A = this chain, B = another copy of it.
Amino acid sequence: MKAPSLGDNTGDIDRLVKMLNKLLPDMTITPEFSLIKRTPAILREQGYDVEALLYEQANTLRLFEFLPRTRENLLRGLAVDLGSSTLVVRLLNLETEEVEEEASFLNPQTEIGADILSRIHYAGQPGGLVKLRRLVVDGLNREIHRIAANRNIKPESILGMAIAGNTTMTHLFLGIDPHWLCREPYIPAANRFPLFKASEIGVAIHPDGPVLVFPDVGSYFGGDLIAGIIASGMAEREELSLLVDVGTNAEIVLGNKDWLMGCAGAAGPALEGGVASMGVMAGPGVIDKVTIDGSSGHVQARTIGNTAPVGICGSGLIDLAAQLYLAGMIDVRGKFVAERCGKRLREIDGTRHFVVVPSEASATGLELTLAQTDMDALLRSKAAMYTILTTVTNLVNVSMKDIKNFFIAGTFGSYIDPRSAITLGMVPDLPIETYKPLGNTSLAGATEVLLSRKARLKMDEIRDRITYIELNVNQDFMNLFSAAKFIPHTDKSLFPSVQLIK
């Protein structure tokens, strides 16, 4: 800018906005209040030669910061996966797009309740919502301070943030009452959020920096799924793709570049309870892979870190069940077959248990067993999953065989062996290469949106064109569910690749 003079005495901010409007014609530029206060000193310090930072909000460009005159890769932003059990934060260089730091931590709200429903209940008690919000915001801020200290930067030098979570977590993070989310007809307070200022929601980055909160589609279909759709690229593909987030609710997206259908609903929690309640979180000593020798019945369990086994996680459980079935040790209804299981079967408190790891081989000195009730729960889960997939494809009248990409979102999903899931009849009998685990798509989508304006527009576009179906557990669903409770299915022709080892 030209410095002011008696002949050109435009105000400092007005001078700056005028110059920016030359570079950005037809845009409304609104300076932040705190910037107005700092502008006169900074302009004089830097001789009216500055780099200004703006962000887009609705139809306005908000002018919120200046950069120091000499700088090196100073533009940083934070992508956040607001998981109900784990939060993951990723510090990014906004210019080079490099990941500078990444860290995850337990959602501090788990001290109130592990599942979402108990937190919604807690939020309804006096002070409950405030406490839940404080727990997660404080936890995030501690992590921001920690990674900022690691990089030797000030937290305020992190300029913006994109955060993706499910609908309940998004409500709790913002301090919005989630009461109506779990009550018919399941209405969120808001699905779309304005772009916030960090100070407005209490996040310890640049106080005037923008915080993008992913929009939700419905109570059971949150911003984490929108992030997943972005990360998978399915909304731009010609061919049909399916995206499923295993391990939270049964949230499914089906579609291509022309249409997108999202499904979620009351069937979800059943699935989650089934798969997740038994398995422990992945960690050292946790069994994540099981093979059973069909003839000898020898059980071989691989553990994470190859240490003595302490438990079994979801993916290990699916492997175990599939291997038990292939070895004839459980029947098509998932019941243990005594003559095949032999000494590994025993009865504890009136329930049959299968000994996965004998006491002498386990890390705890205790037997690791799988109860018949656990197996029944797993079969209900797998049946629910397959029923949802059937319902969704039926709704839009496509065949499962038309699915060219079966994207599996979520860290848990990454460990599942698709072969085992097919064997159980949990997922359709598609070519193995169709199955594509994507890992943390919530974080990946948040990263894209943080880095690219195009991705932000895509986010809104996806949000607006998705057709959301709330799955109800009606008679049709229950009929499909009953047929899917067998291994792999009552209709064996659906799973030609599944053959018992004889």
Q: Which of A10-18, A384-392, A398-406 lies on the face that meets chain B? A: A10-18
Given A40-B180, A190-B39, does the pair A11, B216 have CB atoms closer than 8 Å?
yes
Task: From A10, A188, A468, name the one whose CB has the most chain B CB atoms within 10 angstroms.
Answer: A188
Given A33-B201, A185-B4, does the pair A14, B191 have CB atoms closer than 8 Å?
yes
Contact A184 B6 (CB under 8 A): yes
Contact A177 B60 (CB under 8 A): no
Q: Which of A95-103, A192-200, A361-369, A488-496 lies on the face that meets chain B? A: A192-200
Q: Which of B6, B58, B470 contacts A9 (CB 8 A)?
A: B470
Given A33-B200, A59-B28, A180-B40, does the pair A6, B189 have CB atoms closer than 8 Å?
no
Contact with B along A468-493 (1 / 0, CB 8 A): 10101000000000000000000000
Given A28-B59, A60-B59, A60-B60, does the pair A191, B33 have CB atoms closer than 8 Å?
no
Query: Is A179 engaged at the interface, CB distance under 8 Å to the other chain?
Result: yes
Q: Which of B5, B6, B11 contacts A191 (CB 8 A)?
A: B11
Query: Is A187 engaged at the interface, CB distance under 8 Å to the other chain?
Result: yes
Contact A13 B58 (CB under 8 A): no
Q: Say how far A82's CB is from chain B's closest CB, in angstroms.
A: 17
Contact B4 A190 (CB under 8 A): no
Q: How long is the Cα–Cα vector from A184 to B31 in the complex, in angstroms?
A: 25
Given A9-B219, A60-B60, A470-B6, does the pair A40, B187 have CB atoms closer than 8 Å?
yes
Q: How long is the Cα–Cα vector from A6 to B469 in the complex, in angstroms?
A: 10
Contact with B along A154-179 (1 / 0, CB 8 A): 00000000000000000000111101
Contact with B along A320-331 (1 / 0, CB 8 A): 000000000000
Contact-residue bracket for chain A: 35 or more
Q: Say how far A163's CB is from chain B's closest CB, in angstroms.
A: 15
Query: Is A41 engaged at the interface, CB distance under 8 Å to the other chain?
Result: yes
Contact A192 B37 (CB under 8 A): no
A334 contact set on B, CB distance < 8 A: none
Query: Is A55 engaged at the interface, CB distance under 8 Å to the other chain?
Result: no
Query: Is A85 engaged at the interface, CB distance under 8 Å to the other chain?
Result: no
Q: How long is the Cα–Cα vector from A202 to B486 in the complex, in angstroms?
A: 66
Query: Is A372 engaged at the interface, CB distance under 8 Å to the other chain?
Result: no
Cβ < 8 Å to B, chain A residues 1-59: 4-6, 8-14, 17, 28, 30-31, 33, 36-37, 39-41, 58-59
Given A60-B59, A194-B31, A470-B9, does the pair A37, B189 have CB atoms closer than 8 Å?
yes
Contact B39 A189 (CB under 8 A): yes
Contact A9 B218 (CB under 8 A): yes
Given A184-B6, A187-B9, A187-B12, does the pair A196, B36 have CB atoms closer than 8 Å?
no
Q: Say how far A471's CB is from chain B's closest CB, in angstroms.
A: 11
Q: Which of B60, B194, B470 contacts A33 (CB 8 A)?
A: B194
Contact B59 A179 (CB under 8 A): no
Q: How long is the Cα–Cα vector from A28 to B187 in the complex, in angstroms?
A: 23
Q: How long is the Cα–Cα vector from A200 to B30 in the complex, in angstroms?
A: 15
A41 contact set on B, CB distance < 8 A: 177
Query: Is A186 engaged at the interface, CB distance under 8 Å to the other chain?
Result: yes
Q: How long is the Cα–Cα vector from A11 to B171 in the complex, in angstroms?
A: 12
Q: Which 6 A-B pairs have the closest CB atoms?
A: A11-B191, A13-B190, A59-B59, A11-B188, A6-B185, A28-B58
- 18 interchain pairs, CB-CB under 8 A: A6-B185, A9-B187, A9-B218, A10-B187, A11-B189, A11-B192, A12-B180, A13-B191, A13-B192, A14-B192, A31-B190, A33-B194, A33-B201, A36-B174, A40-B179, A40-B189, A59-B60, A60-B60
